[in-house]
Amino acid sequence: MTRASIHLRMAQLGITLPAPAAPAGAYVPFVISGSLLMVSGQLPVHDGAVVHHGRVGTELTVEDGIAAARLCALNLLAQAAAACGGDLDRVQRVLRLAGFVQAAPGFGDHPKVLNGASDLMVEVFGQAGRHVRIAVGAASLPLGAAVEVEGTFEIA
Amino acid sequence: MTRASIHLRMAQLGITLPAPAAPAGAYVPFVISGSLLMVSGQLPVHDGAVVHHGRVGTELTVEDGIAAARLCALNLLAQAAAACGGDLDRVQRVLRLAGFVQAAPGFGDHPKVLNGASDLMVEVFGQAGRHVRIAVGAASLPLGAAVEVEGTFEIA
Amino acid sequence: MTRASIHLRMAQLGITLPAPAAPAGAYVPFVISGSLLMVSGQLPVHDGAVVHHGRVGTELTVEDGIAAARLCALNLLAQAAAACGGDLDRVQRVLRLAGFVQAAPGFGDHPKVLNGASDLMVEVFGQAGRHVRIAVGAASLPLGAAVEVEGTFEIA
């Protein structure tokens, strides 16, 4: 895969970028410092509303959590594209995802849930989509969201 | 606003930097790597003691949480100033805040709470204070603190 | 201490690096971007299995938590060594640890617990091991682990 094929690959995979979500507070969706692109924590938002609420493993199944994590990652891509003036080919590498899963004490399947986000990055960017990750269980998340994912990218 | 006006602006706003808080463990309050200044997670400490304890939304109101977050941010600024030899004009940009709110399951107003920290950064640095953010609900925090905020800055 | 003595110092301290743990999901254990080495969150894994489960302060003592944090840090070092082709002398500095402690509401001794990780870094790297840190209480962690620690290093 050449570097110029990210948007083509996404089209072939049937992946459509949503409009970048508005921040939920007094911050900005992305900053660029040198070659580092940092994107704010993204929620499982679709058309402006959180669509996966509650605790994974209790109110929600792991499969629901995976879908929520994938949606967070899609929103990360939308922000990354906006940061790059619409051109995701400027992304050299996905460096890091930090994933928080709203879950009850005793839950342990955070890695499965967050693979919903990680897998999307690898589908879209191939080898350049492989990243480091932390996966943590949150007692609560903004707006009751089931999952939140933050992303750091290396850009050209 | 010129870059030389940060301390003047703070004086005009009536914002006084506290003494940098001592670390609560075997770590240092800040490190500098290239142009990145990383500051350890700060608690709502005043005169050496945590002044906002417990869970926001249960023992504490959202307004208490906002005050706690603002105090964390003030302590971040104190550390950033110490890292810059007392000269906050070396801060080119606030890059990222990571905020953790001690809260019960079901709480969702983390963005409002953490605006207490984000707003202070914008008051002090103007446009250069706008940053990316994650907001997460913690089951517990060091010393029972209500809020903890970590900061990353770009410095010259 | 010269930069060439890290592995000798570890031998003198009786610290043996484990084999790097396999990721628990669809991500990689480390990435390098410029001089930044980012290592994925490490669990208290020994011989491929998590050996410290449950909540610190409830099912586990603080001393158990300290041991868990130290094991996480040892796994971070194993990943850092792998990232550096086996040569930890390439590590210029430990920049940041992010530590998550599985704990019940009301727990506040996260700093003590995470000193288990921080102290190991200083034992191994001396002054270059001093880092910034965040310490957060998690409602749950992957595979039921008691502690998770992420690390960022500056390398040559």
Question: Which of B38, B98, B142 lies closest to C108 in CB terms?
Answer: B142
Angle at B17 between CA B11 and CA B22, to 5 degrees: 175
Question: Which of B103, B130, B132 lies closest to A39 in CB terms?
Answer: B132
A50, A145 Cβ separation under 8 angstroms: yes
**From the candidates A134, A141, A153, which should be mutated to test the interface with C, based on the most C CB atoms within 10 A?**
A134
For residue A4, the model assigns a pLDDT of 57
Phi and psi at residue C49, in whole multiples of 5°? -130, 145
Delimit the domains of chain C by residue range: 3-21+30-155
Question: Which of C24, C34, C139 lies closest to A137 in CB terms?
Answer: C139
CATH H-level superfamily of C3-21+30-155 = RutC-like (3.30.1330.40)
A123 touches chain C (CB under 8 A): no
Mean pLDDT of chain A: 95
Residue-by-residue pLDDT tens, chain C, 156 positions = 455 589 999 999 999 999 998 888 889 999 999 999 999 999 999 999 999 999 999 999 999 999 999 999 999 999 999 999 999 999 999 999 999 999 999 999 999 999 999 999 999 999 999 999 999 999 999 999 999 999 999 999
Cα separation values, A109 from A46, A104, A129, B86, C25, Å? 24, 11, 22, 46, 10
**Per residue, what are the HEC states of A104-148?**
CCCCCCHHHHHHHHHHHHHHHHHHHHCCEEEEEEECECHHHECEE
Fold of A3-20+28-155: 60s Ribosomal Protein L30; Chain: A; (3.30.1330)
Taking a contact as any Cβ pair under 8 Å apart, which residues of chain A between 65 and 94 contact chain B?
A: none
Q: What is the mean pLDDT of residues B73-98?
A: 97
**Nearest residue of A to residue B114, measured between CA atoms:** A25
Which H/E stretch holds residue A49? strand A49-50
ipTM value: 0.95
**From the candidates B91, B132, B148, B149, which should be mutated to test the interface with A, based on the most A CB atoms within 10 A?**
B132
State both tokens at A4. Answer: 């110029």
Give me the architecture of the B3-21+28-155 domain, per CATH. 2-Layer Sandwich (3.30)
Chains in contact with B, where contact means 3 or more Cβ–Cβ distances below 8 Å, are A, C
For the CA atoms of B102, C66, B33, C90, the dihedral, rounded to the nearest 10 degrees, stands at: -150
B104 touches chain A (CB under 8 A): yes
CA–CA separation, C94 and C128 (whole Å): 6
HSE-CB at C88 with a 13 A cutoff on CA atoms is 24
A42, A151 Cβ separation under 8 angstroms: yes
**Residue A1 pLDDT grade (very low, low, confident, very high; cuts 50, 70, 90):** very low
CA–CA separation, C60 and C146 (whole Å): 8
| pTM listed for this prediction | 0.97
**β pairing state of A45-46 and A49-50:** antiparallel
HSE-CB at C94 with a 13 A cutoff on CA atoms is 32
Taking a contact as any Cβ pair under 8 Å apart, which residues of chain C between 12 and 41 contact chain B?
A: 34-36
Cα separation values, A120 from A67, A113, C26, C30, Å? 11, 12, 10, 19
